[in-house]
Structure 1
Amino acid sequence: MNIEALLKNREFSHRNCKSIFTRGPQRQLQAHAALVKRLVCDSVLNKHDGCVNRLCWNQSGTTLASGSDDTRVILWDYNTRTARHVIETGHSMNIFGVCFVPGTNDHIVASGGMDCEVRLHFGPFRPEGSKLVATHRGRVKDVVSSPGVPKVIWSGAEDGLVRQFDTRMLDDRYVSENEEVSPPNVLIDLGRRHLTRGIRVMGMSVHPLDPTKMALACGDHYIRLFDRRMLRAHSLSGWGSDSPTTPVDVFSPPHMHFDAGCDSFTRKQHVNSHSTSVQFNCDGSQLLCSYHSDNIYLFDVQSRGIKSYENAWQNGMRVDELKLLKMAKDEVKVLVREGISYVESRRFSAALSLLQKVSGLLNPEQYEPSFRQSVFRALARAYLGRNWRADAYLALQYCIRAVEIDSGDTASRVLYVKALSQSGRHAACQAEGKKVVAEFPLCADEIHPFLVKPRTDSSDDEDRDDDDEVDDMNEDTDDYFQQDSNDGQAVTTVSSRESLEDDESSSTFGEDDGLNNLMWVSPNINGVSVNTDTLRRYIGYSNIQTDIKEAKFFGIDDSHIVAGSDDGRAYIWEKESGQLVNALQADEDIVNCVQCHPFQPCLATSGIENVVRLWNPLAEVDVSPTAQEMSQMIGENQTQMNRREGERLNIMQNPALFRLLLQAHHEEGVQVCAPS
């Protein structure tokens, strides 16, 4: 429905309704496509003295809370755009988590920070009204609450613990003087990844309709969903456990999860691609997750992804497909010809935008096998040519679809070998290459480069040395978090190359090929099968400089997705299609935080600058960047994420090292913003 009709409906309908915000017209208007493209910055809230790391609206949308490196929390009045309260929190380091405590009429605010502390602040928010309630053994990355659970908050930290606090029972129960035993309010313990390295809590989200469900973004590429009805708050001996809390569901993008057949460099990329934020949609049926050094992914909470397909490799294969209801056969063929011409001219993104319009419409009963095979080959070539994050995996899927139509097609088999190589599956690539040469000797020259063991030049050696140094430092940090754990106990493993305990594997063609089976091994995570059936991915932003970057739903009906980026922009996508529709220049350096107003078409953003910006659709015309401009932004960000140098920035994720650097700069009188 166009915006004029919606405005009329809102004006003349439901006049007897006390709150129009629960009605259809307002839901559709809040993030209507026409309004999203008219967003402009109408207010700059300037009172902090450091990077603004967290934003949170109250339930009614009248107040916005912001937490900063300056250790203050500011409550902003939405109507007047002024600071209602400036809270001196008592934190000694950067604030990463802020929330309002439900059921208190916004008179209690919770915060957590880099100093590992969780604090409560009581109205009228004087310094003496702030109280330390707990100390984690790692940086507190998030503090959340739910309107369905009054007076209760949860904190998540890099020590891998989620702790539960009831503000009606504030006493010394949440603070332990015994360093060997944690306080009795540990709700979730993520345990360890391997050796002594702990899994971190990076973000949390509570189901909006069922607050017993809680999703965690963790220090790996798995999103864990927990049911609080199956948990109880308890103490931990040594502040850590070798028996992590069992989730009810686990989610992961398929290219990260199915990595058993990948080389060490590719697997290391997946390890570095940890989730940085997670959010339920308005009815709790979907989860939106942003990833460090990767894209943003949408999961279906209600599906059991890996069980829904006959073959494991099919999971996520429609992540980029445009869901068109109907298209004439002649029109499909015209688009395919044009898409293939774009591939030939190396305009890979343009080719994909056309070919993805038809890839979901290729009904075997309507289109001949050779035509469908040519479309799948063209898609695979376009993905391999573009080679953005996860493109090689999607190319592999299309190659398999093409080969399954006709395994005797030489072009499809050769392309499959190339896809195996580019996706980091060199052992399977060499095995398949030998089979192709044996069956099609004329392809020997084209296949030969893929049969040679990949060489490592001196620059790669240098990169590996640097990566090893980073790994050593991160392991030291994790040892710090787990230093009181008992040695010699069984270690819980969640990496897909270390826990191959599930027998769910399937081969595509060549049933006797063990390497094909290995590629699709699906390890359990704490005994839970992993849901890898990704609904949609959102491409465009860059997320390598910080690990607190957020992706959020925009609109009451979740019609759009918004996320901050390393290039200082807030990107907005249409949720259903995954198409980028706007890019707001929201910071001079990096945008970390994006928070949508609960009812109004307003977006709050913050980042490295010491200000908060509010965006409203006040422009009279479309002011979004052109398609060409947005295409250039996407390409630059993907190039940045593909650079190996970006991995070296992980050194700044070491809390102990960064604390020393921060103190040194403060002694010199220089303002420093934390990267995470």
Structure 2
Amino acid sequence: MEPNEHTFPKKATTYVAFSQDGNELLVNLGSEQVYLFDINNARRPVLVESFIIQHNHGYREGETKHTPKNGTTASCSSGSNGTIEPQQQLPKKVLRIKEMANNHVNNGEYSSAVELYNSAIALCPNSAILYSNRAAALMRRCWAGDTYAAIKDCYKAIKLDSGHVKSHFRLAKGLMDIKRAREAHECLLYFKDKFPKHAESHAVFLLQKDINVALETMETQPDEVDEDGQSGSALERQSRSTALDYSCRFLGHCNTTTDIKEANFLGPDANFVAAGSDDGSLFIWCRKSGNIIRCLRGDESIVNCVQLHPTMFLLATSGIEAVVRLWSPRPEDGQCEARAVAEPGAAAAANQQRMRSDPFEAMLLNISFAGGGD
């Protein structure tokens, strides 16, 4: 949970499911999103990568300057993005998607932009500019966990193109947005040393000012957290220190009301993910892109249980109603599914509002949405 989010209700995992090969774990987190963990290849969450620390505190203190393993250098080309090496040209289809996403960002339609960037990245997963642009859209959309996801995107972009100026700046900005001033200071220090032509920009000046104020506040005002910004018992801090980061997340559903809210893999190759929601919907995501591909009205109130048949493509859902609904593929005869939600994006945005509300407000939202349809 990001520091600027509400602290109620408490986070709790409502359901976990292993992939068929046992290598991945799907976790439905209460008051949050659905997360996918790669059990064998997961790594610890890192807010400041080692190459930044080595750059700031290595040769600056008299050590010989070495080129980090990821290829980062202290030079900067005169290109518009400051890229050191020319990046691959995007395929025409991906370029069109990127341009559409950029237009959505310019119009303030950040969710639509994120969805399009997701699709573009699924088609072209080695493009730094796509990750960097998605990071910018995520930071502006500001749904639960978006800023941390943007930080991950910035690091991915930097790994693909170590000289991408905007990615480095957005990294520092994202860290400051989640109130990690020390980490933001390290990244901005690295940015200014690596890209001196951009170090005096107004945006950098404003960010440095915010960081300085936050650092001074941390020094003068005692707080109740430890030096890593973590509160809680020693056991909890120990558990956090060994925690592993997620590989993918799926957004749109709401999981605040009931103690059991299932999420499961779908398809023979687990290419899809499904979960119930407090708004009575069944959400289905494309695993590769993370986009919602289907949203169905599964219950008049809440969908709790989502189970796939072991041998047939048959899905069972249940919730508050005294019925179990079965779902299976229909013929492509052009007929519309009566229970399909017409605007999944609007439903996802409403669910984000639910999860940021207090429990009483969420209950009123559920009542209003349940009784608002004709």
Paired residue for 1:532, among 242, 245, 267?
245
2:206 aligned with 1:446: yes
After superposition, residues 401-480 of structure 1 pair within 5 angstroms as 401-402=156-157, 405=161, 409=165, 411-429=166-184, 432=187, 440-443=199-202, 445-447=205-207, 448-453=209-214
1:31-56, Cα deviation, whole Å (9 max, x unpaired): xxxxxxxxxxxxxxxxxxxxxxxxxx
CA distance in 2, matches of 1:541, 1:644: 14
- Relative to the length of structure 1, the TM-score reads 0.38
Paired residue for 2:241, among 523, 546, 557?
523
1:186-231, Cα deviation, whole Å (9 max, x unpaired): xxxxxxxxxxxxxxxxxxxxxxxxxxxxxxxxxxxxxxxxxxxxxx
Q: C-alpha displacement at 1:636, in angstroms?
A: 1.2
Partner of 2:113: 351
Partner of 1:380: 135
Larger Rg: 1
Partner of 1:137: none
Q: C-alpha displacement at 1:560, in angstroms?
A: 3.2
1:563-596, Cα deviation, whole Å (9 max, x unpaired): 1100011222234443323222222221111223
Number of residue-to-residue matches in the alignment: 299
The amino acid across from 1:629 in the alignment is E
Secondary structure in 2 matching 1:542: coil
More helix by share: 2
The amino acid across from 1:446 in the alignment is L
CA distance in 1, matches of 2:91, 2:329: 40
Partner of 2:229: none
Partner of 2:306: 594
After superposition, residues 314-353 of structure 1 pair within 5 angstroms as 329-353=91-115
Secondary structure in 1 matching 2:206: helix
CA distance in 2, matches of 1:336, 1:358: 7
CA distance in 1, matches of 2:255, 2:263: 11
Q: Could you tell me whether the CA contact under 8 Å between 1:582 and 1:625 is conserved in 2?
A: no
Paired residue for 1:564, among 276, 280, 286?
276
Q: Which runs of 5+ in 1 are unaligned?
A: 1-255, 257-261, 314-325, 364-371, 455-474, 476-490, 501-521, 525-529, 650-676
2:9 aligned with 1:297: no
Q: Could you tell me whether the CA contact under 8 Å between 1:581 and 1:624 is conserved in 2?
A: no
Secondary structure in 2 matching 1:277: strand
Q: Could you tell me whether the CA contact under 8 Å between 1:434 and 1:451 is conserved in 2?
A: no
C-alpha spacing 1:412/1:599, structure 2 compared with 1 (3 Å) = closer
Partner of 1:285: 23
1:639-663, Cα deviation, whole Å (9 max, x unpaired): 222x1525998xxxxxxxxxxxxxx
Q: C-alpha displacement at 1:397, in angstroms?
A: 2.3
Q: C-alpha displacement at 1:279, in angstroms?
A: 1.6
- Relative to the length of structure 2, the TM-score reads 0.65
Partner of 1:192: none
Paired residue for 1:615, among 327, 350, 358?
327
Partner of 1:274: 12
Identity %: 28
CA distance in 2, matches of 1:586, 1:634: 15
Secondary structure in 2 matching 1:305: coil
Secondary structure in 1 matching 2:296: strand
Q: Could you tell me whether the CA contact under 8 Å between 1:433 and 1:450 is conserved in 2?
A: no
1:376-411, Cα deviation, whole Å (9 max, x unpaired): 4322111111122222112112333455645693x4
Partner of 1:87: none
Partner of 1:94: none
Q: RMSD value over aligned CA atoms?
A: 4.1
Partner of 1:543: 255
1:137-178, Cα deviation, whole Å (9 max, x unpaired): xxxxxxxxxxxxxxxxxxxxxxxxxxxxxxxxxxxxxxxxxx
Q: Could you tell me whether the CA contact under 8 Å between 1:541 and 1:566 is conserved in 2?
A: yes
Q: Could you tell me whether the CA contact under 8 Å between 2:157 and 2:164 is conserved in 1?
A: no
The amino acid across from 1:354 in the alignment is L
Q: Could you tell me whether the CA contact under 8 Å between 2:297 and 2:341 is conserved in 1?
A: no
The amino acid across from 2:314 in the alignment is C
After superposition, residues 56-455 of structure 1 pair within 5 angstroms as 263=3, 272-301=10-39, 303-306=40-43, 329-359=91-121, 361=124, 363=126, 374-402=129-157, 405=161, 409=165, 411-429=166-184, 432=187, 440-443=199-202, 445-447=205-207, 448-453=209-214
1:306-363, Cα deviation, whole Å (9 max, x unpaired): 28x9x979xxxxxxxxxxxx99634443433333232222222332233334446365
